[in-house]
């Protein structure tokens, strides 16, 4: 879409307006961020983006305080909406509460297998009337959220999209796994060089763990690892390693330390992977999603913390 000058108009997002409305109503970014369950910085970024689209400053920070006040332009914009915007959001919230008998949730395959059965059990105890539709995906989660195909997702990526609110559930280390009975022998932190000729099994291009693993191995081996096969899911990688096909770098929680078939070495120098719960910003007040959110933060967060302590 273009205006009369031929320049493209910026894409307008309702979530930006909702954040500004709450900042104006409560007088601070922190209050708005708590209301929307997003970070303080995300709330501030929403308003800055709206200011860029509006072409004027809308809020000003009070000196020595985290509170803000509206500029004349901000007061005018806030006055235009008055109670109408609040009514619109209230109606949307009621509509979503009444219509959302199903929550559509995207989850990477391995995270689903490792964490979700217990979460589903706890959710059904509290929300017996709500159905859960799960989609085991990874690289497509952001697009599915933006296209409205999902209500929420558990992801190892931070999307940075105003339309998607994300909260950090926890983080986990990565480990190198290998067949205990293969010809290359036992692996430890000091002998990674023996993997120079070993077949490497990894994720599809574009996945974060693959990128970190390849960079790590290239630095330690002095050459690119010899990739034998790729897959989109950690469970598939584990199965191939179990068959003796090669080694892989995967989430530490995927394989127990005492697995009789697969050996494991936790790689301390590799950056930990973060796990986020994301949901459509306009569902911030949905009661069913709030229950799912709380259970995920308790179950996934505590289990990831425990895995790091092992």
Give the pLDDT band of residue 1 (cuts 50, 70, 90): very low
Per-residue tokens: 271:
């950056």
Q: What angle, rounded to 10 degrees, do the helices at 109-126 and 287-309 form?
A: 130
Residue 3 pLDDT > 50, yes or no?
no
C-alpha–C-alpha distance, residues 114 and 303, integer Å: 10
C-alpha–C-alpha distance, residues 146 and 256, integer Å: 36
Assign 82 to helix, strand or coil: helix
Q: For the chain, give the percent of residues with pLDDT over 90.
A: 43
C-alpha–C-alpha distance, residues 103 and 169, integer Å: 19
Kindly state the greatest CA–CA separation across the chain.
74
> Do residues 205 and 233 make contact, with C-beta atoms less than 8 angstroms apart?
no
Confidence (pLDDT) at 196 = 92
The answer to which of 79-88, 115-124, 161-170, 273-282 has the lowest mean pLDDT is: 79-88
Residue 100 pLDDT > 60, yes or no?
no
Tell me which of 194 and 96 has the higher pLDDT: 194
Residues 6+ apart with CB under 8 A from 54: 73, 77
The model's pLDDT over 190-226, given as tens digits with 9 standing for 90+, comes to: 899 999 999 999 999 888 899 999 999 999 999 999 9
> Do residues 35 and 284 make contact, with C-beta atoms less than 8 angstroms apart?
yes
Assign 145 to helix, strand or coil: helix
Q: How many CA atoms lie within 13 A of 155 on its CB side?
A: 27
The answer to which of 27-31, 192-196, 283-287 has the lowest mean pLDDT is: 283-287
Confidence (pLDDT) at 2 = 44
Strands 248-251, 199-203: pairing is: unpaired
């Amino acid at each position: 879409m273009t205006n009369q000058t031929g320049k493209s108009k910026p894409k307008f997002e309702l979530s930006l307006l909702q954040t500004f409305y709450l900042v104006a109503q409560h007088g601070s970014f922190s209050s708005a961020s708590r209301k929307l369950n997003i970070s303080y910085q995300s709330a501030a970024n929403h308003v800055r983006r709206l200011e860029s689209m509006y072409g004027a400053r809308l809020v000003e920070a009070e000196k020595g305080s985290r509170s803000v006040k509206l500029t004349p332009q901000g007061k005018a914009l806030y006055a235009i909406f008055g109670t109408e915007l609040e009514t619109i959001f209230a109606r949307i919230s009621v509509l979503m509460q009444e219509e959302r008998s199903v929550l559509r949730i995207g989850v990477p395959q391995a995270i689903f297998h490792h964490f979700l059965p217990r979460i589903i059990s706890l959710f059904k105890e509290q929300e017996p009337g709500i159905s859960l539709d799960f989609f085991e995906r990874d690289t497509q989660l952001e697009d599915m959220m933006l296209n409205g195909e999902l209500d929420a997702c558990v992801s190892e990526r931070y999307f940075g999209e105003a339309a998607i609110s994300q909260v950090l559930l926890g983080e986990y280390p990565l480990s190198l796994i290998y067949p205990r009975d293969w010809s290359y022998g036992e692996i430890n932190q000091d002998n990674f060089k023996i993997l120079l000729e070993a077949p490497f099994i990894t994720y599809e291009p574009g996945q974060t763990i693959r990128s970190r693993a390849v960079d790590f191995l290239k630095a330690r081996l002095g050459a690119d690892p010899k990739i034998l096969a790729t897959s989109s899911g950690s469970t598939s990688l584990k199965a191939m390693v179990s068959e003796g096909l090669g080694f892989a770098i995967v989430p530490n929680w995927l394989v127990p330390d005492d697995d009789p078939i697969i050996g494991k070495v936790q790689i301390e120098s590799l950056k930990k992977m973060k796990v986020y719960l994301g949901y459509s910003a306009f569902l911030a007040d949905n009661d069913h999603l709030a229950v799912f959110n709380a259970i995920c933060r308790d179950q996934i967060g505590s289990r990831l913390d425990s895995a790091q302590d092992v």
